[in-house]
Amino acid sequence: MSVKHRLAALFSSRGKLEYAIQLTETGKAVQGFALLSRLAAAGDTEAAFRVGRAYLDGLGVPPSLEDGARWIFLAAEAGHIEAAFVLATLYTIGLPEGFEIRASGKALDLSHTPAAGPRHPDFHLGIHWARIAAEGGSPDGQALLGYILTSGPEDLRDPLQARSWYDRSAAAGCSQGHLGVALSILQNANTGEELASAARHLTEATKGGLGTAFDILGRMYESGSGVPRDLGKAAGYFREAAERNVVTAQARYGVMLLEGIGTPRHYGRAETWLKRAATNGDTQSAALIGDLCANGGDLPPNLMEAAKWYRLAAEQKHAGAARALGLLYLTGNGVHQDPDVAAHWFKVASEAGDAHADADFGNLILAGASATPDEKQALHARFEKAAEKGDLVGAYNLGVCFAEGVTGAQNGREAARWMQKAADGVVNAQYHYGKMLLEGRGVQPDPTQALYWMEKAADAGMADAQVAVAGLLVDGRINGRRDHEKALTFYRNAAESGNVDAMFSLAAMYGGGHDVPENRPQAQLWFRKAAQRGNGLAQMMLGRYLIRGLGGVTDPVEGRIWLERAKAQNIKDADAELSLLNEAQPDDDD
């Protein structure tokens, strides 16, 4: 067969095209693309379409939206039906702003080719090409046309015409067509018969692996709408949808696993799916994961992890998560104690309708939130009353009030007195009291006791304390105590909790010159994590590692990018590294 194709390729364009397709489909995509490119340049429409798809899919050539769109457009202009459908899809999904395809004869160019950016759908161009594909007999084009007529701008909507195209697509066996018919039915379904019909179309749509169809069927079987109620089937459909990245299904399947509804209870798998849903934007899942981590389930409580998930939900205005996060910042559990941050999250929770957060927010006005002098004085009195009764959190907050001068002048001595009392049980108090002892604020300097209290906070998991103590253990400036191994552990723990300074310091220790085993691949990994979060020194070091191959990977192109970013932050050594790189890699014209 291969010899036949080679011989045919010598005598006809059709033979060359078939040979190119065979190469592409038998694992020789690069050779196939090269031949397709020559045929496309010579005006072969099918080859132009396949070249466009190759660029879009990254098959035999690096992926390129710009080049893919060019060739797809050329093929569609020449009457290629599938190309018209792909072009309609590109316009409907959206192209980067300013990206405009235009043709001049057989030559194509772009008025603007941005490197990246948000996509902007153009339904009017999308419907033009979708209609061409649909009228040309493409079932996928018919389904896409139905979608635009259903969900596009108001001036394009036509539900009756949309249903007609969905019906034609479904009759041709297109999964998207069946999904469109089902959604059309469900939009106005009033009877059990209509719901059952929608369920049948959804079942057909699942044969094409459509996650939305699995998700809707899951909800129908869970509620018994149009189908017999069956929680086992519901869980199965939710699982299928979840595996296809349908966020609502990930959340629902996670809850079913957690509670043993329709499927055996499995805490680990439940947590995995809830985390995926939370990461994909489901705020309720993020809040639920925060609760699980805070309260403990099959595992001990992990307040640092709880804070991470509460924050994810709170940033999307989830009232309960915002209040829970505020409480963590108030008490210094799992996070560094920060009244300003706590006040912010209580305010978010209050604005989102959490009545309990109103009082919490008031309690933190003393810690920096805007308030009248009378309000501050009243709250100061409440903290003082609680502290005098032995409440350690109250003692800590009172210490903060004196340290910050919330109701008047700062009083370091009183701040230290109450902070010392709170240090018996409040992690943040341990850290701040240690800093007071180290710096001599309100107390006589005592480096030994300072390290003792700060190390207690670090051992309890407070990232800021871990970074501070690790630095002291590296340079040995307190009583000559040097412990690089423990410093490395502290830096690693803080880095894994998201502390950027710890990421850089951990990388620096792995890079060598310390009393721990050198591990440059790990150094490069942590320099990258810190660099991605905007740390200029880490950007410079990552650039140096990539250019010199210090971590086992040499990539001068990416290295230059990171050095340029570091230079933009006025990192002095980055400029020197770039000069060395330019000397080593002169311009091609030289």
In the numeric block, which tokens belong to residue 481?
């105590």
Find the radius of gyration of the CA atoms of the chain: 31
- The pLDDT, as a whole number, for residue 148 is 96
**Which stretches of 336-372 are DSSP H helices?**
339-351, 355-363
Question: Mean pLDDT across the stretch 74-81?
Answer: 95
Instruction: List the single range of 8-17, 85-94, 240-249, 452-461 with lowest mean pLDDT.
Output: 8-17
Residue 231 lies in a domain: no
- The pLDDT, as a whole number, for residue 297 is 60
| Contact (CB, 8 A) for 154 and 166 | no
- The pLDDT, as a whole number, for residue 115 is 44
Residue 485 lies in a domain: yes
Work out the percent of the chain whose per-residue pLDDT is above 70.
Answer: 88
Residue 355, pLDDT above cutoff 60: no
Residue 362, pLDDT above cutoff 50: no
Question: Mean pLDDT across the stretch 462-477?
Answer: 93
pLDDT tens sequence across 526-560: 999 999 988 999 999 999 999 989 998 899 889 89
Banded model confidence at residue 239, pLDDT cuts 50, 70, 90: very high
* CATH code, domain carrying 446: 1.25.40.10
In our burial notation (b when 16+ CB lie closer than 10 A, e otherwise), range 119-130 reads eebbbebbbebb
Banded model confidence at residue 108, pLDDT cuts 50, 70, 90: very low
Note down the domain range covering 403.
328-529
Task: Find all residues with CB under 8 Å of 3, minimum gap 6, and list them.
Answer: none
Banded model confidence at residue 409, pLDDT cuts 50, 70, 90: confident
d(CA 246, CA 232): 19
**Cα dihedral 208→209→212→213 (10° resolution):** 60
- The pLDDT, as a whole number, for residue 104 is 41
d(CA 273, CA 288): 12
HEC-encoded secondary structure of 288-299: HHHHHHHHCCCC
Task: Find all residues with CB under 8 Å of 258, minimum gap 6, and list them.
Answer: 265, 267, 270, 271, 274
- The pLDDT, as a whole number, for residue 113 is 44
Instruction: List the single range of 86-90, 374-378, 417-421 with lowest mean pLDDT.
Output: 374-378
Banded model confidence at residue 109, pLDDT cuts 50, 70, 90: very low
pLDDT tens sequence across 142-188: 999 999 999 999 999 999 999 999 999 999 999 999 999 999 999 98
pTM of the model: 0.57
- The pLDDT, as a whole number, for residue 163 is 96
Residue 510 lies in a domain: yes
d(CA 274, CA 286): 7
Residue 498 lies in a domain: yes
Banded model confidence at residue 357, pLDDT cuts 50, 70, 90: low
Residue 107 lies in a domain: no
pLDDT tens sequence across 436-456: 999 999 999 999 999 999 999
Angle at 470 between CA 469 and CA 476, to 5 degrees: 85
Residue 399, pLDDT above cutoff 70: yes
d(CA 206, CA 243): 13
Instruction: List the single range of 28-42, 71-85, 385-399, 558-572 with lowest mean pLDDT.
Output: 385-399
d(CA 541, CA 39): 47
Banded model confidence at residue 20, pLDDT cuts 50, 70, 90: confident
| Contact (CB, 8 A) for 222 and 229 | yes
Banded model confidence at residue 576, pLDDT cuts 50, 70, 90: confident
Banded model confidence at residue 587, pLDDT cuts 50, 70, 90: low
Per-chain mean pLDDT for the chain:
86
Residue 105, pLDDT above cutoff 70: no
The DSSP bridge partners found for residue 102 are 109
Instruction: List the single range of 85-99, 340-354, 512-526 with lowest mean pLDDT.
Output: 340-354
Number of structural domains (the chain) is 1
